[in-house]
Amino acid sequence: MTFKASVLTLYPEMFPGPLGSALAGRALRDDKWQLETVQIRDFAPDKHRMVDDTPAGGSAGMVMKPDVVARALDSLEQDNRPRILMSPRGRPLTQDLVRELASGEGAVILCGRFEGVDERVIEARNLMEVSVGDYILSGGETGAIVLLDAIVRLIPGVMGNHESGETESFETGLLEHPHYTRPQEWEGRSIPAVLTSGNHKAVDQWRLEEAKRITRERRPDLWEAYQNRSK
């Protein structure tokens, strides 16, 4: 089974974009995952191809029309893939959610524009709102690219070195330890001696302590969750 992403957007030319390069791009060419785009405007019934209209109740901006968005969604094969709406009001994207999505058959991803999408289509088509962070993007497309990038690297066979996926920040509940590589000395700074000691146990211990220190200093929220998890 190949992970299949269907992205509904007014800007299909934004895809695959960055997902066409590097690991994700190679995996796409190797058919380890699939990507299709659907131009929402193709589902606007009137001759002006209108996809948005003014907000009920007044205010600035425009709202994506429920009938057009629903027709675009309904044009896809009805399968078990989750239907996601990129939305700043959504469930925050975390590595847990990424893992959950990556283990499924794929995802249908609706990219909002303007002020967003008519609430009724969110309800009627059971869309799961997902946010990539507490800031406002101009559209859902860049969020969808972030989401898919995070998912695709978890698909088996996509990442070269499998192990490097498992010690990554968030996979352990901690931010990652610092990394070093040659030269041994650079601008008067040395690689911590333990890392070149050849003592693997001491290296693991050092890395864990550093991961804890960095998490405690930078992300008290994650640190608290980590401590509760290991209780």
Query: Does 139 help bind ligand SAH (rule: CB under 6 A)?
Result: yes
Per-residue interface string for the shown chain with ligand SAH, residues 79-98, x marking contact by CB under 6 A: -------xxxx---------
What's the token pair of residue 167?
């010690």
Q: Should residue 65 be labelled a site residue for ligand SAH when binding is judged by CB under 6 A?
A: no
Shortest distance, position 90 Cβ to ligand SAH, whole Å: 6
At its nearest, how many Å lie between ligand SAH and the CB of residue 157? 28
Instruction: For residue 6, count CB atoms less than 10 angstroms from its CB and return exposed for 0-12, middle for 13-18, buried for 19 or more.
Output: buried
Coil/strand/helix, residue 37: strand
Residue 115 sits in the site that holds ligand SAH (CB under 6 A): yes
Please identify the residue of the shown chain whose CB is closest to the bound ligand SAH. Answer: 112
Does 155 bind ligand SAH (CB under 6 A)? Our answer is: no
Q: At what angle do helices 200-218 and 220-229 cross, to 10 degrees?
A: 130
Which uninterrupted H or E stretch holds 128? Answer: strand 128-131
Instruction: Label residue 173 left, alpha or beta by phi (over 0 means left) and psi (-120 to 50 means alpha).
Output: left
Binding footprint of ligand SAH on the chain (CB under 6 A): 86-89, 111-113, 115-116, 131-133, 135-137, 139-140, 143
